[in-house]
Chain A
Amino acid sequence: MGFQFDLSFLIFEIGVAIKYIPVVLLLSIVPLIIGLLLGIGIAIIRLFKIRPFDKFFTVFVIFLRGVPLVLQLTILYLAVSLSFDSLAKTFGLQMSSKDLSYTLIAVVGLSINATVYLSEVMRTALQSVPVGQYEAAYSVGMTSRQMLWRIIIPQALPVAIPLIGNNFIGLIKGSAIASLISVVEIINATLYEASGNYKFLEAYVAAAIIYWLLCILVERLVAFLEYKVGVYGKGGVV
């Protein structure tokens, strides 16, 4: 008995997986953007100790960093559907949690997760710029906005970009967990095709290949961006 692996079915499944790349990108890019925006806000609030929110966000970040994504998504999914059903019952609506979009819940959950990690990235990046740089910018009469755009961000970005790239890859891989709350993405789509002939290994290998290619692409993109923003750090003040 040889190793049973259906190559032509694998190729078919790769085709199926490719069709679901947009779903993976939706589940990773939208959380990345939301996470970046909210993450910067949280990082600034925590760095400049803006009361009373700084304490709240510190606890929020420390707690959620310790909880696996699969639990975050499951809890969000259960909490949303239970409260939705309960509300629908109270108001006598003809709707149930089954009408909710699983994808939307997954996007929200991944966004919360991304916000937590990216706020830490932003904090690290902003902290990597020495205080003297802020003071120097103020001392030559720059406004806060000028300081941020001309002095701080150009120095913080080279620190932030590789970390953001890592998080992007983490989100692409994390989007696979959305399959556990019934979102039809690469894994569930390829598994569905395999449910007739039980060739699940081919389905998983096809999914793995596509995830791998996506991650390599993102890695390349990040390396390119790193090179681009690194130009500021190469000296050459004149």
Chain B
Amino acid sequence: MENIFLFSLFIDSFPQLLSRLHITLYIVVVALLFGLLLGTGIAVARLYKVPVLSQLAAAYVSFIRGIPILVLLFIVYIGVPLAAGAFGANINRWDTLIFVMITYIVNSAAFLSEIVRSAVAGVEKGQMEAALSVGMTRWQAFSRIIAPQAIQIAIPALGNTVVSLLKDTSLAYTLGIIDVIGIIQAISSNTHRSLEAYTAAACIFFVLSFILERFFKWLEKKIGINNSIPGANVAPNNKIAVVGR
């Protein structure tokens, strides 16, 4: 029987895979930062029930949450240059990585907006009233009273989203991005084997998600809501739990 799995090849593929790790992390960080910005905007539109914008935001969130990221990747990759072309802009030469970034920003914004929304809505109404009653302005009340509590509520769901975002980036290779997964094709064209490299990539993703998960658990313990308010019991936020695949 031939060797199905060559252990030496498995070990040897780690340095090559790790040399592309920065691309994967880059996508995650950019998508998270811009996704939070966009997501907060969407959440504000929905929380304050801004006419038209709030309905648009709701449809956007529902659509993005309802379609596979693989489909979204290609819609953005093909559709955005076409749409830009309709306005006379030629962006066909843009780096593929930009379209990948747009996809992951658009995707994570939808999930993050739900987290921001339910976190802000999760802070008791009385908190705002109390803050206003002691003479704070609305902005002071929000930034000093509401936001800190909302962040505490958001941490567990945020952790879930970051881990699924990391795992979702594994699909960027379908557009030809040479990240941790994309490099495997280059490796396998040399060795004519790919099982070992894929297994090594799986190990890398496992370690990364494990570290992230631990980090958010630690953060939750440090500043989480169950820690700061004795006896507080925040119901699990089933609606916004993200299933990362």
Interface residues of A (CB under 8 A from B): 1-5, 62-63, 65-72, 74-75, 78-79, 82-83, 86-87, 89-90, 113, 117, 124, 128, 159, 162-163, 166-167, 169-171, 173-174, 176-177, 179-180, 187, 200-201, 204-205, 207-208, 211-216
Knowing A65-B209, A176-B70, A177-B68 touch, does A71 contact B75 (C-beta < 8 A)?
A: no
Given that A68-B167, A83-B4, A207-B71 are known contacts, is A3 also in contact with B243, CB under 8 Å in the complex? no
Contact partners of A167 in chain B: CB under 8 A: 243
Other-chain residue from B63, B208, B213 in contact with A212 (beta carbon distance below 8 A): B63
* B85 surroundings in chain A (CB, below 8 A): 1, 3
When distances are taken between beta carbons in the complex, the residues of chain A under 8 Å from B239 are: 162
Interface status of B234 (Cβ within 8 A of chain A)? no
Q: Check B2 against A89 for contact (C-beta < 8 Å).
A: yes
Pair B75/A113 contact, Cβ less than 8 Å: no
Minimum C-beta distance from A61 to chain B (A)? 12
Segment among B30-38, B119-127, B195-203 that sits at the interface with chain A: B195-203
Verify A5–B205 contact, CB threshold 8 A.
no
| A200 / chain B contacts, CB cutoff of 8 Å | 74, 78
* Residue B92 at the chain A interface, CB threshold 8 Å: no
In the complex, the answer to whether A66 meets B210 with C-beta atoms within 8 Å is yes
Interface size on B, residues (CB 8 A): 51
For this complex, 16 residue pairs linking A to B, each with C-beta atoms less than 8 Å apart, are: A3-B86, A66-B207, A66-B208, A74-B198, A75-B195, A75-B199, A78-B194, A82-B195, A87-B1, A113-B245, A169-B65, A173-B245, A204-B74, A214-B66, A215-B65, A216-B66
- Name the residue on B nearest A75 (C-beta): B198
Query: Is A176's CB under 8 angstroms from B198's CB?
Result: no
B131 interface contact, C-beta 8 A:
no
| B241 in the interface (beta carbon within 8 A) | yes
Chain B nearest CB from A126 CB (Å) reads 14
In the complex, residue of chain B having the shortest beta-carbon distance to the beta carbon of A67: B202
B223 close to chain A: CB less than 8 A: no
Q: Report the Cα distance A174→B4, complex, angstroms.
A: 27
| Chain B residue contacts of A207, Cβ below 8 A | 67, 71
Additional 8 contacts, C-beta under 8 A, given A163-B241, A207-B71: A66-B167, A69-B245, A70-B171, A71-B205, A83-B4, A173-B66, A200-B74, A205-B79
What residues of chain B lie closer than 8 Å to A212, measured between beta carbons? Answer: 62-63, 66-67
For chain B residues 214-228, which have a beta carbon within 8 Å of chain A?
none
From known contacts A68-B170, A68-B245, infer whether A3 and B75 are also in contact, taking CB-CB under 8 Å.
Answer: no
